[in-house]
Amino acid sequence: MTDRSMRDPPRDSLTEAEADALLDADEAEETIDAPADADDDVAMDSGDEEGEDDGDIDLDGPMEEILLQNDSAAHFDQHSDSILCIAQHPTRPEIVATGGQDDAAYVWDATPAEGPVLPTSYESDPQPRERQSQRVLATLEGQDESVNAICFTLPTGDFVATATLAGTLSVYSTPTPTQPSRLIAASKEVDEINWLLPSPHRDHPNTLALGAADGSVWVYTVTATELTILQTFFLHQAPCTAGAWTPDGKLLATVAEDSSLYVWDVFGDAAAAGVADPNGGQAVVSLTAADERFKVDGGLYSAAISPGGGIVAVGGAGGNVRVIGLPRLSSSAAASAKSTTAAAGTRGGSKATAASKPAPSASSASQAGQILAALAAQTDGVETLSFSQPPLTLLAAGSVDGSITLFDAARNFAVRRHIPAAHDEEAVIQVEFVKTALGTANAKGWCLTSCGNDGVVRRWDVRGGTVAADKGLVGEWRGHRGGGDGGGVLGFVQGGGGGAVVTAGDDGVGLVFATP
């Protein structure tokens, strides 16, 4: 306690004038009225200018209603910043890998806890029970920048690879119940990596390709002890933005911001089948902005190849889509060519000549490299493309303008359906048809899944005769913040037949949605 005598001097120690200037205690309690002309005086604690917010909450004013909805069955929250990429194990769809803007990557188990999955909201459950984050199976250490691409190798997911904005490719063994993940090798040949894709070629397992910001394309193979460069390509003159393998893994299509498309004969299968690069290189198809029919001002940003491998679709600025024919490489023809080459080598040690290679079919040769369609049904960049599986013949395109368009390949790529506000006028980030393993029935082949900057996952029925006011919407799942304010869905996986969708959230959370 502070002694009052240390603060106020006794009255008897003051001069008479000083004592008269002090107020008595009863006088200090009097109320002093403001003079009539003090209307312009401003209270000392009200220093805000007119119209400024003083930070106080107006309890008498209208209150903004905030509705929170979470339809997810499980979540993963180990990332401290946006999740930029997601991948799924090819044979164990419950295992996913994510990479983020927090310079971190994880392998985790997406299996939800047992129990019914019910949509929840604050109204239905004002005090929900806290749910535990999904289990981390491995932390992929050593990331030197944001991880913006990630994948498991094919066919059995033996390895998981990450690519960073600093240009580092790192490959790890996939964790198992008996063996933890370990770093196999790392490579830094470029300044920035844009995308990373595993090859499905059955004769070249554990192979992957990447595209870089300098336009280069690199193909690597992975073993238990090393990472080896197989091929490099340098024809793009601007950042390589997307790639796509043919279903058999024999050809790799890549696009770039300079509006160029190259289809690479990575393993020599096209040459063995008698399909040669007209320019004497390893690109069996070459199209650039020099061809006005192909040119897209603003560049190309997406690519997809049909299930049969006969056509590639590329999407770019201004809603433009180009469809190009690809050479069909017959397996029997390739095998015959290889056996012919081997026989020639044993007979005389010389290489087989082009005349000894079987020629591709006339229809394949005439279609390869030809522009089959030039489409522009949307108003902004086409960032994502996906082909349906047979018997459907559809190509889905998602645009920055928030729309999804379905083109029918069986009808010269006529517009089958246009959904102008598929994601509430926010950019569509990914569209993908539900797929199953090759050769198995696909009961959900008519299902198209999409996600966007609105933070919502939606599923559409693309079959004819079902179009209504909702344009075929059959389900939607919420849980990310959305609203275009850093809470969108930046990607998803839906392996295992589409019964679950696992997301990569710009809000730093991965969600698992049951999508029956």
Diameter of the chain measured on Cα atoms: 131
Three-state secondary structure call for residue 363: helix
Q: Is the pLDDT of residue 116 over 50?
A: no
Q: Where are the domains of the chain?
A: 72-111+133-329+369-462+469-514
Record the tokens describing residue 515, joined without a space. Answer: 């999508």
C-beta separation of 397 from 376 below 8 A:
no
Classify 143 as helix, strand or coil: coil
Q: Is the pLDDT of residue 511 over 70?
A: yes
- Residue 470 has what pLDDT? 65
Single out the residue of 424, 411, 414, 469 nearest to residue 450, CA to CA.
424
Tokens 């029970």 belong to 129
Q: Which helix (H) or strand (E) holds 347?
A: helix 331-348
Tell me: the pLDDT tens digits for 320-357?
Answer: 999 999 998 865 334 433 433 333 333 333 333 333 34
The helix/strand/coil state of 7 is coil
Two tokens, residue 357: 């290679």
d(CA 252, CA 294): 19
- Contact by Cβ (8 Å): 372, 325: yes
Range with lowest mean pLDDT among 107-116, 126-135, 209-218: 126-135
- Output b/e per residue, 100-113; b: 16+ Cβ within 10 A: bbbbbbbbbbbebe
C-beta of residue 96 within 8 angstroms of C-beta of residue 502: yes
Interatomic CA distance for residues 119 and 72, integer angstroms = 7
| pLDDT at residue 64 is higher than 80 | no
For residue range 246-263, list pLDDT tens digits in order: 999 999 999 999 999 999
Q: What pTM was computed for the model?
A: 0.79
Give the pLDDT band (50/70/90) at residue 67: low
Give me the mean pLDDT over the 489-507 stretch: 94
Q: Which numeric CATH code is attached to 72-111+133-329+369-462+469-514?
A: 2.130.10.10
Mean pLDDT of the chain: 82
Residue 210 has pLDDT above 70, yes or no: yes
The answer to whether 455 and 487 are in contact (CB under 8 A) is yes
Q: Which residue has the higher pLDDT, 318 or 437?
A: 318
Cα–Cα distance between 42 and 258 in angstroms, integer? 63
Contact 232, 218 (CB under 8 A): yes
The SS3 of residue 261 is strand
Flag whether pLDDT at 114 surpasses 70. Answer: no
Residue in the structure block whose two tokens are 């000549």: 353
Task: Find the angle CA(4)-CA(5)-CA(11) to the nearest 5 degrees.
Answer: 115
How many Cβ atoms from other residues are within 10 Å of residue 342's Cβ?
A: 11
